[in-house]
Amino acid sequence: MAQSLLNSMPQATTGTVVVTDHLNFWDGKRVKPTQETNSEPVFEPATGRVLCQMVPCGAEEVDEAIKSAHAAYLKWSKMAGMERARVMLEAARIIRERKEKIAKLEVINNGKTITEALVDIDIAWQCIEYYAGLAGTLAGQHIQLPGGAFAYTRREPLGVCVGIGAWNYPFQIASWKSAPALACGNAMVFKPSPMTPVTAVILAEIYKEAGVPDGLFCVVQGGAETGTLLCHHPMVAKVSFTGSVPTGKKIMEMSSKGVKQVTLELGGKSPLIIFKDCELQNAVKGALMANFLTQGQVCCNGTRVYVQREIMPQFLEEVVKRTKAITLGDPLLDGTRMGALISKPQLEKVLGFVSQGVQIVTCYIMSPFFHLHILCVTPGTDNCNDDMTCVKEEIFGPVMSVMPFDTEEEVIKRANNTTFGLASGVFTRDISRAHRVAENLEAGTCFINNYNISPVEVPFGGYKMSGFGRENGQVTIEYYSQLKTVVVEMGDVESLF
């Protein structure tokens, strides 16, 4: 089914694709939804046209998917790490081979530009390749004890893990969650966002084609209700969630009832600090990368840009010039650098944030629906300051707030004055200052002299209310496995009784 959809992709242009294939996947195949009367339209962001119908899974369907995943887990978890690695490498190879088609579908469903979607799909297969490499390295310890006794540890999988995704990186989020889960011997049931239901099921088909047991990676469609069913299911061992802070709190609460492990990848309002000794052109490019990828709908964006007062005029001039030059338009065209926001409500939400009296330096709103382009900056503290709602809250749109600062001590205090802690950045030529600032910023990542690069070898995750647990990097193995200790007596039992 997906093959037929993918095969038609090379000819697809914006406004032409309609997806009719079933979007659920378990037992190794696409599954027809049972409650079709509950369907919700899914829109193509660039046109506002209906792309497909999303039918949420109910309790019985969720149960079927989880049971299918559990059956697969019993087989997959008994395979050697190297055997799992071979299957995962094949999945990575297939994604690489089909990346143009997958990226195109991602654009049609999400509205981001094709240039970015191709990078997202590259990062997805690289993630699967990276964890395939780690699958064969999972090992425990041997511990010598008195009298010839010894103990050893085994790194074991958790069981059936649930992945719940946001809409901004649909295929990539499904890959970032499934790759470490599968490498450790788990199965995964993944629920994409109801706004972007189309590409996770393609990942499921690719895993199957690569040779995973039927059911190992399942996809159930739905929103909050389906997500709730997943979090409460007694056969689920772990929930890995990407999304907003309010939903993250609910996920944690629900998971606590079953004492399930949780990873939370939540929102942010990250600071980017630009010192006067920076290489200005790099800092300007960094600020744009920190704010405008995926139309600003990126969790780790550096949306609070603090610029040292002495260079504010030059910085603003350059940043405004470059922002005005961003090509907005059809996201499927190679030359487009900013596509469409995910939905009309999201557009309205973003506009609501900026209608607060801030000076908007440049603003384009394109027809028909969701194109938006706003740079909201000001050199004065009165017009754009730390206390404004749009500077404190996550907007999740292409809005950059720029504020002046005077000293390092002051800016660190202001940068940390937030409940979020996902990412941060600093531009300076002073190496000591760079590392000192990185140490003092309360965030899970600090970019020095760059912003928003996410190599899969590098851990990614938040401090404070931006969540806990990590994705990517070696450490994530610990979030998808558990340690068993085996204690071995070689002599007689010395009993006190």
* Stretch of 106-114, 278-286, 295-303, 386-394 contacting ligand LWGJIB7O, by CB under 6 A: 295-303
Beta strands in 270-382 (DSSP E): 271-274, 304-308, 360-366, 371-377
**Tokens representing residue 34 in the block:** 């049972």
Question: Is position 279 annotated as part of the catalytic site?
Answer: no
Quick check: 454 binds ligand LWGJIB7O (CB under 6 A)? yes
- State the nearest-atom distance from the C-beta of 393 to ligand LWGJIB7O, in Å: 16
**HSE of 98 in the Cβ direction (CA atoms, 13 Å)?**
25
The listed partner (ligand LWGJIB7O, ligand NAD, none) that binds 185, CB under 5 to 8 Å by sort, is none
Residue 66 in 3-state DSSP?
helix
> Closest-CB residue for ligand LWGJIB7O?
299
Specify burial of residue 290 (Cβ count, 10 A radius: 0-12, 13-18, 19+). Answer: buried
CB-hemisphere CA count at 13 Å for 272? 26
Of all residues in this chain, which one has the CB nearest to ligand NAD in the complex? 227
DSSP SS3 for 367 = coil
Burial annotation 196-216 (CB, 10 A radius, 16+ → b, else e): bbbbbbbbbbbbbebebbebb
Token digits for 327? Answer: 């090509």
Instruction: Report whether 182 contacts 76 (CB < 8 A).
Output: yes
Cα–Cα distance, 155 to 139 (Å, whole number) = 6
- The structure tokens listed for 53 are 């119908």
- Does 395 bind ligand LWGJIB7O (CB under 6 A)? Our answer is no
Residue 169 in the binding site for ligand LWGJIB7O (CB under 6 A): yes
Nearest distance from C-beta of residue 278 to ligand LWGJIB7O, angstroms: 24
CB-CB contact of 186 with 480 (8 Å): yes
Q: Rounded to whole angstroms, how far apart are CA atoms 421 and 262?
A: 18
Active-site position among 44, 265, 394, 408: 265
**Is 110 a residue that touches ligand LWGJIB7O (CB under 6 A)?**
no
In the complex, the smallest distance separating the C-beta of residue 297 from ligand LWGJIB7O, rounded to whole angstroms, is 7
Q: How many CB atoms lie within 10 A of CB 295?
A: 30
Q: Give yes or no for residue 300 binding ligand LWGJIB7O (CB under 6 A).
A: yes
68 lines the binding site for ligand LWGJIB7O (CB under 6 A): no
- Judged by CB under 6 A, which of 103, 299, 312, 437 binds ligand LWGJIB7O? 299
**243 contact choice in ligand NAD, ligand LWGJIB7O, none (CB below 5 to 8 Å, kind-dependent):** ligand NAD
165 contact, one of ligand LWGJIB7O, ligand NAD, none, CB 5-8 Å limit per kind: ligand NAD
Tell me the closest approach of the beta carbon of residue 455 to ligand NAD, in angstroms. Answer: 15
Tell me which residues in 254-293 interact with ligand LWGJIB7O (CB under 6 A). none
Which CB, 181 or 283, lies closer to ligand NAD? Answer: 181
Rg of the chain on CA atoms, in Å: 24
Q: What are phi and psi of 76, to 5 degrees?
A: -65, -40
**Minimum CB–partner distance for residue 245 and ligand NAD (Å):** 7
Helix or strand run (H / E) with residue 151: strand 150-157
Binding partner of residue 394 among ligand NAD, ligand LWGJIB7O, none, CB cut-off 5 to 8 Å per kind: ligand NAD
Q: How far is the CB of 79 from ligand LWGJIB7O (least distance, A)?
A: 30
Q: Which residues pair with residue 482 across a beta bridge?
A: 156
> What residues make contact with ligand NAD under the rule CB under 6 A?
164-168, 191, 193-194, 223-224, 227-228, 231, 242-244, 247, 250-251, 265-268, 299, 394, 396, 422
CB 31 within 8 A of CB 155: no
Number of residues binding to ligand LWGJIB7O, judged by CB under 6 A: 6
**Residue with smaller CB distance to ligand LWGJIB7O, 55 or 289:** 289
Lookup result for tokens 């995964």 = 188
- Distance (Å, whole) CA 273 – CA 415: 8
In the complex, the smallest distance separating the C-beta of residue 59 from ligand LWGJIB7O, rounded to whole angstroms, is: 30
Binding region for ligand LWGJIB7O (CB under 6 A):
168-169, 298-300, 454
Catalytically annotated residues: 265
